[in-house]
A and B are shown apart, each in its own frame.
Chain A
């Protein structure tokens, strides 16, 4: 598969290194210094630019991408980039990191796959303590009722 990852922080780097063992991975990142996160022997392509800029997306090969991950620190940047990938390039698999649980829920309701790190970590820690087998991702993404706003 051709995989496009927007954001080369710790998450983006780990994801890129894992997936590049079997797939062709291209990373879009604003900061050229971030490339060091990949180490010396990686096989990823890195395109410097922003994933909300279509010229950059095209340079990174979005037209032939099978999957698009938006994993920068900015929820809104991720959500905008993901919607460009979805609407303008019809990328089949799109996954977005959204830190704000309520914002993530709003976009899940629109059909977007949003991963909320806080909820995943909390759920897995809970299961670790109680020795409960780990569950499917969707079961962790559920917002505790007390945190619901809408």
Chain B
């Protein structure tokens, strides 16, 4: 695949290195001449392009028209937005991906059709958030475009279900308790399994039922 990366900072360089390692044809665009020289010593001259990836003329020279994907990873959201939007509307690139530095910008990227975005701030925040709110509900992953979630909950001493058997509990529709982690031991759940304080419950739940499940167990 031919992959064009715009923005030769740390993210761009490390990403280019990895992609070259995978055997892809990679072109990293960097407008600062000195930085581009540094990049060329690491990645090889053939993988670095000195120029502004936001300009139509440089995009043409870099071969946007034959790129399988364009990835914008500069530190400026407005630059990443314009690179990706132009890749789509001017050059008809099938796959575009943007780094979004301010998470509140993710929405406008989606609305203009740049649906693939990565925000380090959002990622780090959600990781921290999980660590901080340990006895709250933790969304482990969103499946099927977010309609079904895997959630994790630790039962506190005030949970109303302590001592109850799974079969005596009326769970929200289409909700399954996948397994319980108890004193470092994983338990597969049957109808007879009873809940104990400190149990970590892992459940599969439709997104709109997550609050109902929380209310029931918490």
| Size category of the binding interface on chain A | 20 to 34
A74 touches B56 (CB 8 A): no
Task: Say if the beta carbon of A40 comes within 8 Å of chain B.
Answer: no
Count how many chain B residues have C-beta atoms less than 8 Å from C-beta atoms of the other chain.
Answer: 21
CB pair A150–B78 under 8 Å, yes or no, is no
Answer whether residue B77 sits at the interface, using C-beta atoms and an 8 A cutoff.
yes
Say if the beta carbon of B68 comes within 8 Å of chain A: no
Set of chain A residues within 8 Å of B60, measured between Cβ atoms: 149-150
Contact status B108-A100, CB under 8 Å: no
Name the residue on A nearest B81 (C-beta).
A80
A102 to B102 Cα, complex, angstroms:
28
**Chain B min CB distance to A145 (Å):** 14
Q: How many residue pairs bridge A and B at CB < 8 Å?
A: 61
B57 touches A80 (CB 8 A): no
Is A103 in contact with B112, judged by CB distance below 8 angstroms?
no
Main secondary structure of the interface of B (DSSP, over half): helix
B104 interface residue per 8 A CB criterion: yes
Question: Contact residues of B with A, CB < 8 Å?
Answer: 54-57, 60, 76-79, 81-82, 86, 89-90, 102, 104-105, 107-108, 111-112
**A interface vs B, CB < 8 Å?**
52-55, 74-77, 79-81, 83-84, 87-88, 100, 102-103, 105-106, 109-110, 149-150
**22 interchain pairs, CB-CB under 8 A:** A52-B77, A53-B104, A74-B78, A75-B82, A76-B79, A76-B81, A77-B78, A79-B81, A79-B82, A80-B77, A83-B81, A83-B112, A87-B111, A87-B112, A88-B111, A100-B56, A102-B55, A103-B54, A103-B82, A106-B89, A106-B90, A150-B90
